[in-house]
Structure 1
Amino acid sequence: MFAVFVILPQFCLILLGYLLTRRPSFAKKDFWIVTEKLVFYVLFPPLIFLSVAKANLQIGQCSYFLLISISAMSVAVITAWLANFLIKESPWTKWSIFHCGFRFNTYIGFAICSTLFGDKGIAYLSLLIACWVPISNVIATVGLVHASRLSGSENNGKRKNFLVAVLSNPLILATLLGLVCNSFSIELPKLLVDVLKPLGQSSLALGLICIGAGLKINDLKRYLQLMIVGSLQRLMVVPTIALAFAIIFQLLPLESCVLLLFAALPTAQSCYVMTASMGGDSAAVADLTSAQVIFSLLTLPFWINVMLEFFPN
């Protein structure tokens, strides 16, 4: 019950976002696009920056944590590829949903991490995200380029702008800037902290509402097998791999919990936008993304209980 109550507030906010889109005054897609941009570019980076800048981090230990975490997620990429063999869909659809097997929902992750582990947990999660975002985006792009070739709608412009998009990612920039301030013990002005702190705090609630507003269920009957296999791979197999890596390579309890939480997150909402812009099967990705968010209401409490069992400290 503790695990359920940890995630219940987050999913109530997601439900609120979903219900808001059923009201005529909040149904316009343009409104939510602007709101998501506000969260991603203005509100969310201050949360990450302050958490990393003020955290008590040991760089050497963080390097080991990052190495093990990236290795575990790399194995997750392999399981996403293997899961395609169990899905009876066209190669175009299979390669379109491939990146849903190893990408992650940032807002749910930070909301739960903040509740369970506080600022230091957020700092570790920020570092892991800063490392995994460019790696996962490269792999996702390769898969989507292959999917677009299968459909005959290859998008070369998207590939040309990919490096710029990764390097200008506000999450990565905020993490790197916070890491610089932390490493050189730069004291932040009180006025700056007082301005950035409420911005960061508001990002979590608004980000979760945006997730609910973005839920899309197009054709449950058609993609039922795909959603079951894809959700099991992402929400059960990937965290199992992370748990094994944390135990075998003896990560610290907090590091183990952050890795396990990161691995247990449903896939990113941005998967749909990326797939649609590159000529993939965006309808299948929309259904799978939404299904994972819904199923994670059941799987996340399970993995939180696993954390309490294996890493009680």
Structure 2
Amino acid sequence: MNGLLAGIVPVFAMIALGWGLKVRGLLADDGWRAVERLTYFIFYPAFLVPAVWGADFSAGTAGPVALSTIGVSFVVAGLSLAARPVLPVSDPGFTSVFQGVIRWNGFVFLPVAGAVFGPSGLGTAAVAFGVLAPALNVICVLALAKWGAGQGGGWRLALRSLGRNPIIWACGVGAALNLSGLRPHPLMEGVFELMGPGAIALGLITAGAGLSFRYAAARPMLIVTVSVIKLLVLPVAMYFVCGWLGGDRTAQGIALLAGAAPGAAASYVLARQMGGDAPLMAGVVAFTTVASAATIPILLAAFRFL
């Protein structure tokens, strides 16, 4: 248990470090944006390609994880749409609630999955994330196109971002190399080994730097409700559905972690682009990130992974 916690606690310590550095003004906003782009387009793909490339697809864990996470996310999305008429929020506010209950942060999910389940678990988690990320992007864009107060171009922006998403491309390239039977050259492995730790560290630091607590206290009950659904209901449902689909203990644990990951920082960007309630979205992302530092270990312990 202590060994696993030693892998989880540093993840949130790095997020806290990023937030502290941003508050202290170590870098200007332009500097943080440059670091974020470097991480997103260079380091993180270099981390994901070998993880997926080396994943054991024959173990049968990726399928149940991907199906359970997509299935539960779509059911929760459908229930959210059904509840729209009774929710006391504006149309743009609803889009932020909608994103808040289904989207999750890969920068937190993937390192924790690697710490708890090792390299094979990380590969499975990366495959599941590569499948789910574009699917959730599409349905969130649909919601924003209908209820957001956008200025036009939202679909073009969203589709362009999907096509250029380096995480999706990295997962696809890694899967193709895995299925091809090719093995990485030792020189290439050396490059990946150097860049991988940098991807994790910079990804978590920039995630922390992007947190904004300014709006978290404005609508506390709404944010807490969204967070409970996201951090507790979703992971438990994904765990049991994954088992029902034939997933083993490792697959169920990865599905649990996928649901337990905090809200995605990209949700705020999409809300801002397409006329969602960006302040509410920022509050949800900040609160779920902080709360998940407690809920992830609690869930892992409750289901006997710690």
1:180 aligns with 2:176: yes
1:45 aligns with 2:41: no
Contact (CA 8 Å) 2:69, 2:258: kept in 1 or not?
no
1:17 aligns with 2:13: no
CA change 1:22–1:64 in 2 (3 A) is: closer
- The residue identity in structure 1 corresponding to 2:206 is C
Q: Offset of 1:177 from its aligned partner?
A: 1.1
- The residue identity in structure 1 corresponding to 2:179 is S
Contact (CA 8 Å) 1:99, 1:139: kept in 2 or not?
no
Q: Deviations over 1:160-210 (max 9, x none)?
A: 243332122111111111111111211211111111221122111111111
| Residues in 2 aligned to 1:4 and 1:72: alpha-carbon distance in whole angstroms | 27
Of residues 72-81 and 13-22 in structure 1, the stretch that sits farther from structure 2 once superposed is 72-81
- Residue 184 of structure 2 aligns to a residue whose secondary structure is coil
Contact (CA 8 Å) 2:61, 2:247: kept in 1 or not?
no
Equivalent position to 2:270, from 260, 270, 274: 274
| Residues in 1 aligned to 2:47 and 2:140: alpha-carbon distance in whole angstroms | 26
Contact (CA 8 Å) 2:77, 2:102: kept in 1 or not?
yes
CA change 1:64–1:284 in 2 (3 A) is: closer
Q: Offset of 1:101 from its aligned partner?
A: 1.0
Paired-residue identity, %? 24
- Residue 303 of structure 2 aligns to a residue whose secondary structure is helix
CA change 1:135–1:220 in 2 (3 A) is: closer
Contact (CA 8 Å) 1:53, 1:178: kept in 2 or not?
yes
- Residue 183 of structure 2 aligns to a residue whose secondary structure is coil
- The residue identity in structure 2 corresponding to 1:295 is A
Give the total of aligned pairs.
305
| Residues in 2 aligned to 1:48 and 1:272: alpha-carbon distance in whole angstroms | 24
Q: Offset of 1:65 from its aligned partner?
A: 4.1
Q: Offset of 1:57 from its aligned partner?
A: 1.8
Aligned ranges 1:16-95 → 2 under 5 Å: 16-26=17-27, 28-58=28-58, 62-81=62-81, 87-95=87-95
Q: Offset of 1:95 from its aligned partner?
A: 2.1
- The residue identity in structure 2 corresponding to 1:243 is Y
Aligned ranges 1:191-202 → 2 under 5 Å: 191-202=187-198
Q: Which residue of 2 aligns with 1:307?
A: 303
| Residues in 2 aligned to 1:14 and 1:224: alpha-carbon distance in whole angstroms | 22
Q: Offset of 1:286 from its aligned partner?
A: 0.5
| Residues in 2 aligned to 1:48 and 1:65: alpha-carbon distance in whole angstroms | 17
Any gaps of 5 or more consecutive residues in structure 2? Answer: none
- The residue identity in structure 2 corresponding to 1:24 is G
Equivalent position to 2:155, from 151, 154, 159: 159
Q: Which residue of 1 aligns with 2:249?
A: 253
- Residue 196 of structure 1 aligns to a residue whose secondary structure is helix
Q: Which residue of 2 aligns with 1:242?
A: 238
| Residues in 2 aligned to 1:82 and 1:4: alpha-carbon distance in whole angstroms | 39
TM (norm. structure 1) is: 0.90
Contact (CA 8 Å) 1:51, 1:119: kept in 2 or not?
yes
Q: Offset of 1:122 from its aligned partner?
A: 1.2
- The residue identity in structure 2 corresponding to 1:193 is E
Q: CA RMSD in A?
A: 2.1
| Residues in 1 aligned to 2:257 and 2:65: alpha-carbon distance in whole angstroms | 14
CA change 1:221–1:171 in 2 (3 A) is: closer
| Residues in 1 aligned to 2:72 and 2:92: alpha-carbon distance in whole angstroms | 27
Of residues 157-166 and 112-121 in structure 1, the stretch that sits farther from structure 2 once superposed is 157-166
CA change 1:62–1:218 in 2 (3 A) is: closer
Aligned ranges 1:83-232 → 2 under 5 Å: 87-148=87-148, 151=149, 154-232=150-228
Contact (CA 8 Å) 2:65, 2:254: kept in 1 or not?
no
Of residues 64-73 and 262-271 in structure 1, the stretch that sits farther from structure 2 once superposed is 64-73
Q: Offset of 1:61 from its aligned partner?
A: 5.8
Contact (CA 8 Å) 2:107, 2:203: kept in 1 or not?
yes
Q: Offset of 1:53 from its aligned partner?
A: 0.9
CA change 1:86–1:31 in 2 (3 A) is: farther
| Residues in 2 aligned to 1:31 and 1:81: alpha-carbon distance in whole angstroms | 39
- Residue 26 of structure 2 aligns to a residue whose secondary structure is helix
Q: Deviations over 1:76-120 (max 9, x none)?
A: 323444665675332321223311211111111111111111211
1:7 aligns with 2:3: no
TM (norm. structure 2) is: 0.92
